[in-house]
């Protein structure tokens, strides 16, 4: 078995940052009416800027595969050229198509000029960590001596007004104002575009920061809790999901079946509690001392959860001081599967990390409540 190191990190954020008052310029007005929920959602999520792979007319400027490829290209240098890549492992919530796989499309964009091993992890926020874990285990086992892992999203194309106009017309209020269901509109003001990438190797780089991957753990609570975040389906009264394939095609637009949706009541009830429970399990499993953790990078979908997460961790005996937490949510937005990559890239390239420090990564996924965490040591 080999040790595994993140030897370089890179990110790509498309176009210019978009301020709160500019969002509907890019995403459009649903049936030409400004959103009444937008200001409340933005006040709670504390996001001030985000990035869209769109122009101001709502036209796409990049595909998800292109965003991911651009992040990966930032890993190439004199020590690691693109033809040196052995494994490409990527994760996303928002692939450009159902098939071919996202990794196939990214491989095509990179123009490497040779065949390589590829892996695609799908799902929600944990798909990026799943992709990282595949690369980590491959290098650790000696199957490959390097792996490029990436997490990315292009959710803006899912959130443009034209995707919701039919539903809004179908759900008119008595005063004839077209509306869209809150569980669908909620995420229009939460999500952002971008990609982050790591290079994994079996040796640290000399004269530069490398991060040794100590472990990556995963937990799912789908055996206890119904779906909370979902797309390509709708939730029935009993909590089960009805697939898009079981709806007549003329209902797909009327009910925004393909839109990504959030059950906020279930989210508030479980997301923090189960996150603390899963992290406590990892600390017990690996006999970790919370006081020995130097940096905590927790992916949160909204600033609304920031204080609550710290409190829930403390209840489980993991009371990390405020100065150890690192967030960039307010500046880059919620980039789902790419968020933890982009946060770690910023910390890794900040010049503040010191040899021997421990970096904790925590990623929740509200789909049906799955969690991951990883421990890294600065080399």
Tell me: the pLDDT tens digits for 84-113?
A: 999 999 999 999 999 999 999 999 999 999
> What are the DSSP E strand ranges found in the chain?
5-12, 18-19, 49-50, 87-92, 117-122, 146-153, 194-201, 211-220, 229-230, 233-235, 241-243, 261-262, 295-298, 358-365, 370-378
Q: What does the pLDDT read at residue 176?
A: 47
The chain-wide mean pLDDT, for the chain, equals: 94
* pLDDT confidence of residue 180: 57
> Is the pLDDT confidence value at 327 over 80?
yes
At residue 255, the pLDDT reads 83
**Cβ atoms of 233 and 263 closer than 8 Å:** no
Q: Is a pLDDT exceeding 50 seen at residue 306?
A: yes
Q: How confident is the model at residue 174 (pLDDT cuts 50, 70, 90)?
A: very low
Helices 306-315, 264-285: crossing angle, 10 deg rounding: 40
pLDDT of residue 91: 98
Name the band, by pLDDT with cuts 50, 70 and 90, for residue 170: low
pLDDT of 53 strictly over 70:
yes
Q: What is the mean pLDDT of residues 252-271?
A: 89
pLDDT band at 329 (very low <50, low <70, confident <90, very high): very high
Give me the pLDDT at residue 167, please.
65
Query: Which of the two residues, 338 and 259, has the higher pLDDT score?
Result: 338
Average pLDDT (197-206) is 96
Q: Check for a shared fold between 4-208 and 213-222+263-378.
A: yes
Sequence ranges of the domains in the chain: 4-208, 213-222+263-378
Looking at domain 4-208, which CATH architecture does it have? 3-Layer(aba) Sandwich (3.40)
Measure Cα distances from 348 to 128, 271, 285, 297 in Å. 18, 27, 27, 12
C-beta of residue 196 within 8 angstroms of C-beta of residue 338: yes
Superfamily of domain 213-222+263-378: Thiolase/Chalcone synthase (3.40.47.10)
Q: Tell me, what's the pLDDT at 83?
A: 95
Token pair, residue 363, equals: 């990623």
18: which strand partners? 50
pLDDT at residue 326 tops 80: yes
Size (the chain), residues = 379
Position with higher pLDDT, 238 vs 33: 238
């Amino acid at each position: 078995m080999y040790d595994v190191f993140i030897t370089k990190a890179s990110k790509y954020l498309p176009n210019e940052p978009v301020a709160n008052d500019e969002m509907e310029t890019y995403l459009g007005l649903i049936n030409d009416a400004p959103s009444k929920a937008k200001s409340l959602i933005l006040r709670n999520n504390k996001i001030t800027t985000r990035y869209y792979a769109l122009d101001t007319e709502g036209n796409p400027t990049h595909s998800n595969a292109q965003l991911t490829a651009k992040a990966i290209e930032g890993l190439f240098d004199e020590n690691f050229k693109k033809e040196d890549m052995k494994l490409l492992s990527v994760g996303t919530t928002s692939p450009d198509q159902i098939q071919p796989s996202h990794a196939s499309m990214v491989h095509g964009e990179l123009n490497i000029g040779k065949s390589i091993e590829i892996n695609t992890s799908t799902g929600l926020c944990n798909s990026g960590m799943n992709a990282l874990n595949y690369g980590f285990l491959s290098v650790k086992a000696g199957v490959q001596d390097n792996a490029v892992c990436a997490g990315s999203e292009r959710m803006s194309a899912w959130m443009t007004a034209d995707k919701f106009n039919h539903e809004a017309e179908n759900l008119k209020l008595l005063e004839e104002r077209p509306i869209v269901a809150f569980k669908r509109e909620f995420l229009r003001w939460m999500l952002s575009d971008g990609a982050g990438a790591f290079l994994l190797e079996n040796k640290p780089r000399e004269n530069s920061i490398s991060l040794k991957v100590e472990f990556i753990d995963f937990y799912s609570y789908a055996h206890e809790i119904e779906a909370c975040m979902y797309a390509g389906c709708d939730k029935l009264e009993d909590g089960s999901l009805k697939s898009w394939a079981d709806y007549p095609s003329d209902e797909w637009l009327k009910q925004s079946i393909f839109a990504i949706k959030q059950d906020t009541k279930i989210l508030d009830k479980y997301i923090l509690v189960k996150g603390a429970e899963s992290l406590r399990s990892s600390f017990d499993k690996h006999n970790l001392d919370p006081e020995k953790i130097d940096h905590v990078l927790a992916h949160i979908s909204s600033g609304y959860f920031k204080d609550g997460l710290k409190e829930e961790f403390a209840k489980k005996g993991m009371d990390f001081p405020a100065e150890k937490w690192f967030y960039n949510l307010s500046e880059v937005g919620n980039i789902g599967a790419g968020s933890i990559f982009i946060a770690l890239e910023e910390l890794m390239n900040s010049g503040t990390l010191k040899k021997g420090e421990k970096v904790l990564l925590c990623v929740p996924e509200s789909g049906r409540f799955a969690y991951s965490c990883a421990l890294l040591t600065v080399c």
